[in-house]
Each structure stands twice: as structure tokens, then as C-alpha cells.
């Protein structure tokens, strides 16, 4: 799989940041951690990874804009293009020594996501896609799962923590979904949840109130692997609201009906 120059820049940047994070992950007990809010930690590792990504991406494309979890937003000379970056999706896993976290990098052009990379550095799994070019994990072409019934399907979500207001809604979702499916997983990285649906490891995923940097790359990877992604409400722009409902095409309508109540 030979990607465009931009995709190759994204993959190279993600690998470099991944090496830094893996090194810090081995030292996780010694990391200095500051509180960023209830149940949401930010570490030196996270900031170091963002600095690497910023240097790599902005050195290669100095005119592009920038939006990232820790460093905020910067306008670029080219107003039509920007990088959307989460240097560490799954921070809580990382800090607890759980090897399930990822770097997420997306490229937006004129309001559309045109390329995405989600890199699971702990397992060396690089998920990536470009608009119209299909989705890949390392050298393998990705396709969503072919399962056709809810009862043999497993789904992923994020369960709100630390007093977030959307917990009751998610518990209601689970109450409707658990009796009709083969299981629900809560693994703590929305970027990897979307990549896993693209890879056919889950049949579907839903979660509310995500940030654009959590999902921008995962959404294009999933769509390019043949999956469907919509806002939970069915109306709004999902990158703005962060309310995501995703599944393979066969399951999508049944799954959406359960989650939308």
C-alpha cells in the first residue's frame, strides 16, 4: 500500500511519537502526572508525544492549521487544511499500565476528513485510510465484520466516569442492548474502538460527547473499511457533537434502533 505524501508524513510522525510513548509506558510508575479534571489525567508523556507530532507535521506542512487535545487550535496560512491530533487516546489506560492506547492523526480539507491514522504503538498496529483508497492495518486491507445478526455481534462503548451527566443515558443504552447481543466491551480508547470496528473485531460502537480529535481519524478509517457512521441523533454533524453510532452495514439499522431507543 503506497499512500499519498501526506499519509506517509502522518504515518512517520505517528511512529516517531509512538516510540516516545512506548519508552514512557515502560516507565509508567515514575511518570509525573498532573490532574486535568475529574478522572481525566494528562502526563508528561502525552505532552512530549504532542510536541513530536507537531514538529513532524508542521515541519513537513508549515502552512496547515493545527487542532490538538493539549495544545489547542492554531490557524494555518492555508485556511482549507488542518491537522487534528490526539497524541494519546486512552490516557487512563496508559497511566495504569494497560497496553491499550493510541495516537490519532487526521487531515481535514475544506471541512472534510481526507486521511486518518490511528497507531496502537504498544502492539505496533498502524490503522490508516485515505478518502477513496480503502483502509489498512499495517499491510492488511481492512473490512468490517460480515456478521448479520445482533445476537452474534459484540459492541464497544465508553461508559462515562467521574460524575459525567451522560451516565444515565448510557446505562439505559446498555439495558436495551445487552439482552440482544453477544457482549459489550469498554476498552477506554474511542480511536481504537472505531479502528476495531473497521477491522471486524467489533460489529459496532457508540458513545456520546467525544471530542473531534478522538474520532476524526477513526471515522474515515471505518468508512473506508465499509462501515457506516452516523450521529446518534441522526441529524447533527457527528464531528461537532461527538455523538457517534457506527457499525457494519448489515447490522447498522438494528443497532441504531436499539441505541436510539
Q: Which fold has domain 5-141?
A: Fructose-1,6-Bisphosphatase; Chain A, domain 1 (3.30.540)
> Residue 49: its pLDDT value, please?
96
Which pLDDT belongs to residue 192? 98
List pLDDT tens digits, range 56-97: 999 999 999 999 988 889 999 999 999 999 999 998 898 888
Cα 172 to Cα 20, 157, 159, 184: the distances in Å are 40, 13, 11, 14
What is the spatial distance between Cα 136 and Cα 48, in angstroms, rounded to a whole number?
27
pLDDT number for residue 40: 42
b/e per residue 187-209 (b: at least 16 CB within 10 A): bbbbbbbbbbbbbbebbbbbbbe
> Can you read off the three cell numbers belonging to residue 180?
440482544
CATH number, domain 150-259, options 3.40.50.2300, 3.40.50.2000, 3.40.190.80, 3.30.70.100: 3.40.190.80
Q: pLDDT by residue (tens digit) across 159-201?
A: 988 778 888 899 999 999 999 999 999 999 999 999 999 999 9
Higher pLDDT, 29 or 111: 111
In the chain, list all ranges with CATH 3.30.540.10: 5-141
Which residue in 51, 1, 4 sits closest to 24, CA to CA?
51
Residue intervals in the chain for CATH 3.40.190.80:
150-259
Mean pLDDT value of segment 34-44: 52
pTM reported for the whole predicted model: 0.93
What would the pLDDT profile of 97-116 be if each residue is shown by its tens digit? 889 999 999 999 999 999 99
Average of per-residue pLDDT across 234-243: 86
Amino acid at each position: 500500500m503506497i499512500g499519498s505524501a501526506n499519509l506517509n508524513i502522518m504515518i512517520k510522525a505517528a511512529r516517531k511519537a509512538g516510540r516516545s510513548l512506548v519508552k514512557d509506558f515502560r516507565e509508567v510508575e515514575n511518570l509525573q502526572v498532573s490532574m486535568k479534571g475529574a478522572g481525566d489525567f494528562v502526563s508528561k508523556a502525552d505532552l512530549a508525544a504532542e510536541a513530536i507530532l507537531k514538529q513532524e507535521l508542521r515541519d513537513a506542512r508549515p502552512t496547515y492549521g493545527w487542532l490538538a487535545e493539549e495544545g489547542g487550535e492554531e490557524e494555518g496560512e492555508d485556511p482549507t487544511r488542518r491537522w487534528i491530533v490526539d497524541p494519546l487516546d486512552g490516557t487512563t489506560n496508559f497511566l495504569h499500565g494497560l497496553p491499550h492506547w493510541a495516537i490519532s492523526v487526521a487531515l481535514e480539507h475544506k471541512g472534510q476528513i481526507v486521511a486518518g491514522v490511528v497507531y496502537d504503538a504498544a502492539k505496533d498496529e498502524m490503522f490508516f485510510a485515505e478518502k477513496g483508497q480503502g483502509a489498512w492495518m499495517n499491510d492488511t486491507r481492512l473490512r468490517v465484520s460480515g456478521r448479520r445478526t445482533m445476537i452474534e455481534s459484540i459492541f464497544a462503548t465508553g461508559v462515562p466516569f467521574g460524575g459525567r451527566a451522560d451516565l444515565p443515558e448510557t446505562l439505559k443504552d446498555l439495558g436495551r442492548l445487552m439482552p440482544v447481543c453477544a457482549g459489550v466491551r469498554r476498552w477506554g480508547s474511542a480511536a481504537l474502538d472505531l479502528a476495531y470496528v473497521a477491522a471486524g473485531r467489533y460489529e459496532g460502537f457508540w458513545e456520546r460527547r467525544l471530542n473531534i480529535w478522538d474520532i476524526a481519524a477513526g471515522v474515515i478509517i471505518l468508512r473506508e473499511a465499509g462501515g457506516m457512521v452516523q450521529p446518534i441523533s441522526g441529524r447533527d454533524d457527528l464531528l461537532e457533537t461527538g455523538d457517534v453510532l457506527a457499525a457494519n452495514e448489515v447490522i447498522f439499522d438494528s443497532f441504531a434502533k436499539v441505541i436510539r431507543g
